[in-house]
Amino acid sequence: MNSTAVAAPTVNARRNRGRRVAVIGSGSWGTTFAKVLTDAGCDVTIWARRPELANEIQVAKRNSQYLPGINLPKRLSATSDLGTALRGAELVFLAVPSQTLRQNLLDLEPFLDRRSVLVSLVKGVEKSTTMRMSEVIADTLDLPPERIAAVSGPNIALEIAKEQPTGAVASCADLAVAQEIATAASAPYFRTYVNTDVVGTELGGVLKNLIALAIGIVDGVGYGENTKAAIITRGLAEMTEFAVASGADAATLSGLAGLGDLIATCQSPLSRNNTAGRLIGQGYSQEETKEQMQQVAEGITSVPPVLELARERGIVMPIVEQVQMVLSGTMAPANLGPHLATEDDVPRPEQRFDAAQPGRWRRFVNRMKGSPA
């Protein structure tokens, strides 16, 4: 995995002058990311499905439904017309629900510039196909790898909208493209790094939602910090084993797109998946939870396809299996903690990787220390 920081924000602002980008989706994350891009110096147009929301962003520079109390940049433009949003956009950031991405891609295809790079901000898996979002983009629009990318990391939208510092990773098979995206998305309070491990970057964002659901469930039940720490730690092991079996670099899962995102999503009351899990742990049904939140918790829709992929790859994911049992009503929320990660009573190794894996970890640790491999 190649990983490096991008240039200072003041330099980025000069580099981004005149750079046209579009953000498709005006929920909390789409609007926040549009703010980041604007503050990084880009010329940004955000697309909102509802004309009244586009008008509020365009005129009042507010998104009162998803980001109450946040003033948006004066330079940020908004529209409900896809053609207007995409006109001249060299980077198109996608911030729509995972289960509607394919249809949104079909809708925007007639207006897409043939050189545009599509960047997924979506942390989910398509339920009907088990595809990651970059795979959905490739399958729907038949784009080459160098025109498909993803951005992921510890990104609680409201905190970033308040300009609380954080970081993220821009990932593309073409490192130069990842660097262009990172330059466009590095504001004074938002630092973007790069890698070429699209699989690991996307899967980190998908899998941490499932562990955050588990954390929310046991929090709703009333379990304490020991239980939650054990779930986070064992959850990271499940995430890493699944990702590596899918072709990812293990080091990605210990970075911003993996561990960083996992910590933020599991501990923040602003996390949609944590909140959904907590409500379910308190006895609310999935339908009642959805009504309470009025937002999509991607983790709930991602559990079945992730488990389907895990079975295909011979991966055992006890925590995610138990989350599914709670969601389906075959396990009481209070039982998720006691059954933490045990398939049976036989003591198991804490980490399970193939023979080549320790060497990869050793090289990663050596890189962090600055020593030769």
pLDDT at 271: 87
pLDDT at 5: 47
DSSP state of 72: P
pLDDT at 7: 44
Mean pLDDT of each 10-residue bin along the chain, 373 residues long:
47 85 97 98 97 98 97 98 97 95 98 96 91 97 97 96 97 98 96 98 95 95 93 94 96 96 92 91 88 77 92 93 94 82 61 50 48 41
3-state helix, strand, coil in the chain (%, to 5): 55, 10, 35
Other CB atoms closer than 10 Å to residue 191's CB: what's the count? 19
Locate all alpha helices (DSSP H) within the chain, ordered by sequence: 9-15, 28-39, 51-55, 82-86, 101-108, 133-141, 157-161, 175-184, 198-221, 225-245, 250-253, 261-267, 272-281, 286-293, 298-312, 318-328, 357-369
Distance from C-alpha of 87 to C-alpha of 287, rounded to nearest angstrom: 39
pLDDT at 1: 46
**Secondary structure of residue 79 in the 3-state scheme:** strand
pLDDT at 368: 47
35, 123, 208, 228: which one is catalytic? 208
Helix (H) or strand (E) holding 190: strand 190-195
**Secondary structure of residue 154 in the 3-state scheme:** coil
pLDDT at 339: 66
DSSP state of 124: -
pLDDT at 351: 64
Active site residue 74: no
Please check whether residue 151 is in contact with residue 121, taking contact to mean a CB–CB distance below 8 angstroms.
yes
pLDDT at 358: 43
